[in-house]
Structure 1
Amino acid sequence: MAGSDTIDSLDRKLLHALQTDGRARFSRIAAVLGVSDQTVARRYASLRAHHGVRVLGQVDETRVGRTRWILRLSCTPDAAAGFATALARRADTRYVGLTSGGTEVLCVMAARTPAARDTLLLDKLQHTPRVTAVDAHCVLHTFYGGPSGWFSKSAALTPEQVDALAPPPLHPPDDPVSLDDVDERLIDLLGRDGRAPVSALAVAAEQSESSVRRRLDRLRRTGAAYYDLDVGTELTGQYLRVGLWLAVAPGDLAAVGAALAGHKEIVFAAATTGAPNLVAVALCRDAAHLYRYLTATLGPLPVRAVETAPILREVKHLATRR
């Protein structure tokens, strides 16, 4: 079994399996990987204990009629870290990181209501003394991200193994999915532990187990909720995380976004309002790898301009690490 500082090929296969279906039973994963249930359970427990790996339930804002915003917040040098920590505590922030020498905060937020969004963007941020500039980009379309994380591109599993583990296809309705208080409560619980047993979810949500199963099935089937894998960069072997801000002609936006989605380095890519109008996050082994990616892979695409912003520290990723 892999030690606390390293992982082996079986660990990587397990991570790829959990990225494919975060709530797949260990017995199902074990059958696909050709090992015992106990081995899978033991490996997952070790990855959690030594590397903080967690499966977390997330809401897909586009499926429930909410809008996601990407914020670039310039701060005075003495305030950025503390401000980032404060943002990370908010329930409406999905990601918070420090870039540009530690004076810029990168934040992804998705308020439940327009009023809550306006309170943050137009009131609180504008009246925070040590925030010197606010640049807000509304996410228009996501090319890569959500349930598709880095391990989906790791090739640890064969295509046949991925197909055997993949959850049923989505059947999203034309209209936004309506979430009631119980749905919100379940998503909040899954945001702490996406593999929580139905029995535990039922007790916490004060619902019957059959009701919880029906709700979880509906949330997943409609795409309103999905399961993501919270993994530190040490397990990917890609230690340099970089924000990419690209300016692309409107006619090339779809093609460039689709191309980025296919790049192994890209863990997130979305079209946004503003200039730049395409935002991405790349994972690279080191500066030399980033240079090769920018010049040989990204360079040939019809991109007018690109700004790179290394992410020095992740303060919040899916959920604040404990």
Structure 2
Amino acid sequence: MNAAEELTEPDRMIAYALQANGRATWGAIARALGLSERTVQRRGQRLLDAGLVQVSTYLDTTIVGEAHPLVLRLSTRTGAALTVGRELARRPDASSVSVVEGSGDVVCMLLPRTREDSARLLLTELPSIDGVDSVEASTVLRYFRSGYDWSVGDLPAPVVETLRADTPTRSAAASGPVQLTREDESLVAALAEDGRATVISLAKAADISAPTARRRLEALFGAGALHVRTELSSAVHDLRVEALIWLSVPPDHVETVGAALGCRPEVRFCVACTGSSQILVDCLVSDPAALYSFLTGAIGSLGSVTVARSSVVLEALRRGPMQMANMRHE
């Protein structure tokens, strides 16, 4: 399975179900979709094996650690953008890396754990990468949509609710930063590689008992430190144009504008940040005409908002913990 034409409607429904809850069992997905468990398991595993669907987890460093995420725009020498982007995508603290249209631009989000990490990144590590001419940095101040909470597809609402009924979510009582233990770090690393890993395999990776692994996972999900994240190839959803849009917004309108854009179906990521632009939006649409409609309609209707810059993504190199090389099926 490596081309869009090979995908059937059940394939797409299973992919959308995994995006609703990447850790749902095949049996739970089968019951929610009204398909046989054997069919769901066979087709779902094929989607995973082909790289059309990838399930991992997202570690929220605003809860784990003391530094906020950084959005970086790097200008590179002619011909070096892809090489620089690939080097950034291999970093363990990379969350999103894209090569965008422009004069050798790479845009990424990195997740430093400490203030010292942030300073070292900006003052030493990034400027020393071969091919980088300049670095422009912004600090993420507020998430309106984080990527892991975006979904595509048209599953009926009751089906989505059923799939998410047992999804690990943040407890209402959760507050304050979370300190990860050595065992927690092992669990997080294993889930970044395979978000559907069983509790037994995770326990083995962390060298702890299965009940302890289950308890630690419940604590991490309950604290909001960890989230399940599922990425789908464009062969599944056919949304082939991705764009990054920087918006200039009056300070007293940032919350309203961010909340309005954060719930739009085209928007997979939306944050308030420092710098000359107050909001950054990552949108995914079907074609350039749909992007035009989003810019002139969804954003144009917001009144006091000005588009400071918009760039089409030429190559998505990393999303969450996953390098995206295997996500391309063209």
Same fold (TM over 0.5): yes
- 1:19/1:148 contact within 8 Å kept: no
1:212 and 2:213 are equivalent in the alignment: yes
Matched ranges for 1:28-47 at <5 A? 28-47=28-47
Amino acid aligned to 2:276? A
SS at match of 2:301: coil
Distance 2:168 2:157 in 1: 16
Matched ranges for 1:74-223 at <5 A? 74-101=75-102, 103-128=104-129, 130-151=131-152, 154=153, 156-166=154-164, 167=167, 169-171=169-171, 173-223=174-224
SS at match of 1:27: helix
Distance 2:168 2:46 in 1: 29
Amino acid aligned to 2:197? A
SS at match of 1:299: helix
How far 1:102 sits from its partner (Å)? 6.0
How far 1:56 sits from its partner (Å)? 0.4
Q: 1:14 to 1:304 in 2, by over 3 A?
A: same
Amino acid aligned to 2:29? I
Moved more, 124-133 or 50-59: 124-133
1:317 and 2:319 are equivalent in the alignment: yes
Amino acid aligned to 1:286? D
Task: Give the % identical residues.
Answer: 33
SS at match of 1:186: helix
SS at match of 1:150: coil
In structure 2, what is the equivalent of residue 19 of structure 1? Answer: 19
How far 1:71 sits from its partner (Å)? 0.2
SS at match of 1:310: strand
Q: 1:72 to 1:4 in 2, by over 3 A?
A: closer
How far 1:4 sits from its partner (Å)? 6.2
SS at match of 1:191: helix
Superposed CA RMSD: 2.0
Q: 1:64 to 1:287 in 2, by over 3 A?
A: same
- 2:52/2:235 contact within 8 Å kept: no
SS at match of 1:112: coil
- 2:175/2:223 contact within 8 Å kept: no
Amino acid aligned to 1:53? V
Distance 1:314 1:64 in 2: 26
Kindly tell me the number of residue pairs found equivalent between the two proteins.
319
Amino acid aligned to 2:158? E
- 2:84/2:129 contact within 8 Å kept: no
Amino acid aligned to 1:159? A
Q: 1:2 to 1:11 in 2, by over 3 A?
A: farther
In structure 1, what is the equivalent of residue 278 of structure 2? Answer: 277
SS at match of 1:62: coil
Amino acid aligned to 1:115? E
How far 1:3 sits from its partner (Å)? 7.4
User: Normalising by structure 1, what TM-score?
Assistant: 0.93
How far 1:260 sits from its partner (Å)? 0.7
Q: Which runs of 5+ in 1 are unaligned?
A: none
- 1:5/1:50 contact within 8 Å kept: no
Distance 1:209 1:271 in 2: 39
SS at match of 2:194: coil
Amino acid aligned to 2:309? E
- 1:150/1:266 contact within 8 Å kept: no
Q: 1:103 to 1:174 in 2, by over 3 A?
A: same
How far 1:51 sits from its partner (Å)? 4.1
How far 1:277 sits from its partner (Å)? 1.0
Distance 1:9 1:275 in 2: 44
How far 1:293 sits from its partner (Å)? 1.3
User: Normalising by structure 2, what TM-score?
Assistant: 0.91
Q: 1:286 to 1:102 in 2, by over 3 A?
A: farther
Q: Which runs of 5+ in 2 are unaligned?
A: none
